[in-house]
Each structure stands twice: as structure tokens, then as C-alpha cells.
Chains A and B, each alone.
Chain A
Amino acid sequence: MKNNILTIMKKELIRFFCDKRMVITVLLFPGLMIFLMYSFMGDAIANMYTVDDNYTASICVVNLPKSIEYIANNSGITLTSIDINELNVSKEKLLKKDIDICVVFPSDFDSAVSLYTTNSQEAAPNVEIFFNTSSTKSQTAYTTMTTLLDTYENTMINKFDINKSDKIYDMASEKDTAGSIFSSMMPMLLMIFLFSGCMSIAPESIAGEKERGTIATLLVTPIKRSELAIGKIFALAIIALLSGISSTTGTLLSLPKLMGGASDSMTTNYYALTDYILLGVVILSTVLLLITLISIISTFAKTVKEATTSVMPLMIVVMLIGITAMFGDGAKSEIYYYLIPLYNTVQSMIGIFSFKVIPENILVSVVSNLIYTGIGAFVLTKMFNSERIIFSK
């Protein structure tokens, strides 16, 4: 003889884990797809904005000044001098991406520059650079050319330098940088993944049982409605948690690849076991709350389809709350923010990911989530008792 809550939990877990399709779509796919997608996106983005180191840009120059030619030669940049009459042909080539940029200097550039003073009312000598933003090579060549011209300009009017020595001026540690990036992205991603995990199982388990008439079979047994509600919430929370772990693992493994171009410091090695434990506790309490909320909405619905549609507004709310992590400067320190359901999760996650954990706030967040879950379970029990809700057609 067993506790009815455990009996219901066992049934729900067997139902899930013996269904290969469910295991693959809810547990394996999210993590695997996120890992592959982010890794692929990271590689694609890196390829999009990177040009092979050995590539020699094709730069055509009209009226190539001696001074620029000298600086270019010293910098290892090859410039091809062309006649002004060839400009239109060069623009055509630029359009077809046969060349990378085309630069037009005034005919007497060097003398015009040396004669020009900023006090004069005349317009400064103008250099025109034609380029093609649809080509990464053209964009790179454009940057190279403007840097070269800046260097030339600096040699003439250099009055002071900024950060010219080899010292390290950015005082942010690599750990802080990683924390900043993870804390702005992970809370939003985790909220979405956790919600998706809950949404993929709760409507099926609650509204699906209503739709198929199997919940009525349970309700004519001596089981208490509260045991049924709690058993379902716990079992669904375990599955949703596993789905969340799958998605989180996929994200943590692939995020450094996705952000690879942005920083070499993007690694999860900075996080200690205690950070992961805290994160796990926050996620668990959040999953319990989300499962309860989705179960309540699903109990109102007559079909799985109706339940899924009804849950959508909640999904939007969760996403918007998740997005708030991308704004602001770190986690809130005021304790009352940690009483706001779901928002408290985001704030707790920001604190954990940015290495600025305030234990009392995490505790308030977890305890309040558990209290909200308890209230939700009570509401769900009342709903299971309502013939109008359970037997509505």
C-alpha cells in the first residue's frame, strides 16, 4: 500500500518515460537542438564577419597620393592606382564584388592637405570611398582604409594620445565580463526554456485527461482531490525540471560558441558548485510555480488545444519578465522585489550569474515561490472538486 500522491506521481512518470516520443521531444531535443542551433549560429556569425588573414583586399585608388602609398606600403596594404576615367567601370566591379573598395582622392591631395587650416572658412579636402556593405571583404577593406587615413591624419595634427602604452586599461576581470554577459542573457533564456518544458507536458496531463475522460475515472476512486493535484504537480515538475536541465546544458555548452566573437572570456568555468546548487534550487521552485499556473489554466480548458492557446498570454508575460534581465545594472538588492512571482526568479538568476548573490533574497524568492505553489495547489484542488469545471463539455 502506498501514498496516493506517490501512486499518482509514479503513474505520471511511467506514462512519460515509457513514451519514447515524449522523452525525445521533451528531454533530448531541446538541449540537442539548442546546442546545435547556437553552435551553428556562432560559426555562421563568425564566418560572416571574419575575412581570411591571408586575403589581400582589392583596393582601386584614383589620384593615389605619394603619402598614402607610402603608409600603405609600410602597412602591407596593396593599392591599385587607376585613372579617373576608369571610375565607373570600377563601381560596376564593386557592385559585382569583383573589387572590394574604390577610393577617390582630390588630384592635389597632399598639397591641399598641407595648405588647409581648420581656421579657414574653406571646405576640407574630401576623400570618397565607395564600398559594398553586402560583402564582408568590402566592409573589412573599408575599415582598413579609414584606419589608414586616420593614421595619416593623426601624424599631421597629433597633439595627444589615448591608452598608447601596452598597459591593461580595462579594469574588468574576465570573470566579471563573463558574469555580465551570462547574467544579461541566461535569465531570459532559462525562463523561456523552463516555460516551454512545462507547457509541453502540463496541458496534456491535465486538459488531456479531461478531454479523454480519464480524470473522471480517477475522481470516482477514494483518492483525495488534493492528493491528485499535488501528485500531478510534483510529477510534472520533475519532468519539466529535466527538460529545463536539458535546455540549460545545451545553452551553457553552446553560448560560448555563440558569443565566441565577442569575448574569449565566455566560459562557465568561473561558476562554482554552490552557484549551480543555488541556481538549481531557484529553478526547481520556479518550475513548481510554473507547472501549477499552467495546470490551473489547463484545468479550465476542455481540450489540450484550448489549454495550449489559453497558456499563451502567460508565456508572453514570462518572456517579458525574462527580457527585463537585459536591462538595468545587476540584480535588485531590495528584498520586496523577491516577493514578485517569476520576477523574483529573474532577479535571483541575475544575482547568481553576476556573482553577486544575496542569500536572503534567494531564500525569500524560493520560499515565496513555494508558498505561491501551495496556494496554486489549493486552487487546483478546489477546481478538481468543481463539477462545472471538471465535467464541462
Chain B
Amino acid sequence: MTEILKVSNLSKTFKLSLKQQRIEKTKEKKKTAVNNLSFSAYKGEIFGLLGPNGAGKTTVLRILSTMIKPDSGDALIDGVSVVAQSELVRSKIGFLTSELKLEEFFTPNYLFDFFSDLHKIPSEIRAERKQELFDKFGINDFSEVKVANLSTGMKQKVSLVISLVHNPEIIIFDEPTNGLDVLTAKVVTDFLIELKQEGKTIIVSTHIFSIVEKICDRVGILIDGRMIICDTMENVTSQKSLEDVFFDVYAKVVGETK
């Protein structure tokens, strides 16, 4: 197995504003989102990050995508540091999160070309890639319709395609099926499996157990910024279902904390 992602002692703390302190019902001025986190992912696998809201899943993925920097620790993606060589990392990954929006004024066709330009994709490769992805997700029918006029599902498909314009080796998806109807969600999950079969590595965060059970080779359970379990799906679910494992672990960790 080739290690393609190596996360080492990653920590991230956020300052809390007064408003956030009120929402979180705390007087602490800082919140540790990720606490000394280490894990690895291997080429050609789907790694699932599972955890409740506020566990730190999104923060980990944002660090991996170089949107934010860790306070300490580092992550190497295909041997490239997210801290020291963030631009190079961004050219190696495809990142999709609900936070990332597409400019609604433009059409999927224009956006594909625009992001291909930013990724320096040669025009002959671009046309082929566009055809392939647009066919797969049925975007040809609305490729000249402004994003503003598309449904949520259509927008999600376009976002997915845009994140893959450069055919990245590592794909990082934060809650990829959020807000999608069951049909579109199935298209997305089937596509992730297809990508895996093509030898791509996929890091996906979700709180939907069935998706993790269905598509992931390995799983990491994240609670309060700490990696509680990180193992293959086979090992994690050898005795109990993933849901039971998660709730047992969660009760134990929260009990320890209190």
C-alpha cells in the first residue's frame, strides 16, 4: 500500500468571538477544533471521516485543502506539505465542500473552462475531460444555463465536476451528499466508487453511517478534535455495526470528558 496522505500531530485552535461564546455557551476564548491528530490514507482507497457536528471533520479537510493553516503539525499529500507548499498541494487535490459556491452568473460550460484555465489544463485535454464529466453527470442538458437557474442537485453536480477539472489523484469531499435527493446522492456515491476503481484516493467526511459502510475502505472516528478510532472497515465493524461502534465510542469519550 502506498501512503498518499500522511497527517502528523495536526492541531488547530480557533479564537471565539463573544457571539460564538454565547452560542457555544462557554466563557473560553479559544476552541480546540483539531487536537494532535495523526492518520494516513493510502492510494486507491476511500477514507471516511466520521463524527458528530463540531467534531473537527471540516477543519481537518480545510487544512488538507490549504484553505486554513494548522497551528502545529503538518500533512503531506503525495509527499507535499500543506503548510510549506500550499499551491502545489492545491494542484494535486480536488476539493468539494458546501462552503464552496459557484458564481451564479455563469454557466457550467464557462465555469469548467475558467477553472481549467486556473489549473492550466491544455485545451485538447480539457475538451475531452469536459465531455466525459458532462456526459457522466448529465450536465450537457443544462451546460449553457446560468448556475442561478439550476436546482440544488444540478448545482452540486456542477460543483463536483468543477472540483475534478484537473483530474486530481486525491479527492477531498466534505459532506458530498448534503442536501441532495436520493437519486443525485446515489449518482455521487457511485461516482466516488468509480473514482476509487480508477485508482484515485478519496477522503470523505460525513455523518451518514450508511454511506461510510457502503463506500469506505477505512474509517476514522473523530470526536472533539481527536481521532478515537482509525482502522479498516472490516476491523471496525467486525463485531458490531458502524452505528453501534460509533455510539459506544461517543458515550465513552463524552463520559470521560465530563
Contacts and interface: CB of A to CB of B under 8 A. Distances in A.
Contacts of B57: none
A387 B69 contact: yes
A223 B130 CA distance: 21
Interface in A5-48: 7, 11, 14-15, 18-19
Interface in B144-182: 162
A221 B101 contact: no
A213 B159 CA distance: 13
A276 interface: no
A269 interface: no
Question: Of A209, A216, A220, A222, which is in contact with the most chain B CB atoms at under 10 Å from its CB?
Answer: A220
B118 A217 contact: no
A391 B68 CA distance: 9
Interface stretch (B26-34, B42-50, B87-95, B205-213): B87-95
A222 B117 contact: no
A18 B144 CA distance: 14
B136 interface: no
A219 B97 CA distance: 13
Contacts of A15: 103, 105-106
B99 A222 contact: no
A216 B105 contact: no
A167 interface: no
Nearest to A4: B118
A14 B90 CA distance: 26
Contacts of B110: 14
B115 A221 contact: yes
Contacts, number: 63
Contacts of B99: 213, 216
A214 interface: yes
A1 B120 contact: yes
Nearest to B95: A220
A66 interface: no
A97 interface: no
B67 A219 contact: yes
Interface string B51-94: 00000000000000111110000000000000000011011010
A1 B120 CA distance: 5
Given A219-B67, A220-B67, A222-B87, A214 B102 contact: yes
Contacts of B93: 220
A224 B87 contact: yes
A164 interface: no
Q: How large is the interface on A (under 10, 10 to 19, 20 to 34, 35 or more residues)?
A: 20 to 34
B149 to A, nearest CB: 15
Given A7-B118, A221-B115, A212 B101 contact: yes
A2 B102 contact: no
A7 B118 CA distance: 7
Given A216-B99, A222-B87, A18 B105 contact: yes
A221 B67 contact: no
Contacts of B101: 212-214, 216-217
Contacts of B102: 214, 217
A347 B105 CA distance: 41
Contacts of B117: 1-2, 4, 7
B68 A387 contact: yes
Nearest to B117: A7
Contacts of A11: 114
Given A15-B105, A19-B105, A387-B67, A223 B118 contact: yes
B100 A221 contact: no
B119 interface: yes
B40 to A, nearest CB: 22
Contact of B114 (A7, A387, A391): A7
A221 B90 contact: yes
Contact of A220 (B66, B69, B114): B66
B122 interface: yes
B200 to A, nearest CB: 17
A90 B186 CA distance: 94
A169 to B, nearest CB: 63
B80 to A, nearest CB: 12
B90 A220 contact: yes
A216 B119 contact: no
A26 to B, nearest CB: 15
A332 to B, nearest CB: 45
Nearest to A217: B100
Contacts of B87: 222, 224
A4 B106 CA distance: 18
B26 to A, nearest CB: 17
25 contacts: A1-B121, A1-B122, A4-B117, A4-B118, A7-B117, A14-B110, A15-B103, A18-B105, A19-B105, A212-B101, A213-B99, A213-B101, A214-B101, A214-B102, A216-B67, A216-B101, A217-B100, A220-B65, A220-B66, A220-B67, A220-B93, A220-B95, A222-B87, A222-B91, A387-B69
Task: Report the 3 A-B pairs with minimum CB-CB distance, sorted nearest first.
Answer: A213-B101, A222-B91, A387-B68
Interface of A: 1-2, 4, 7, 11, 14-15, 18-19, 209, 212-214, 216-224, 387, 391
Given A19-B105, A212-B103, 20 more contacts: A1-B120, A1-B121, A2-B117, A4-B117, A7-B114, A14-B106, A15-B105, A15-B106, A209-B103, A212-B104, A213-B101, A216-B100, A219-B67, A220-B100, A221-B115, A221-B119, A222-B90, A222-B91, A222-B118, A387-B67
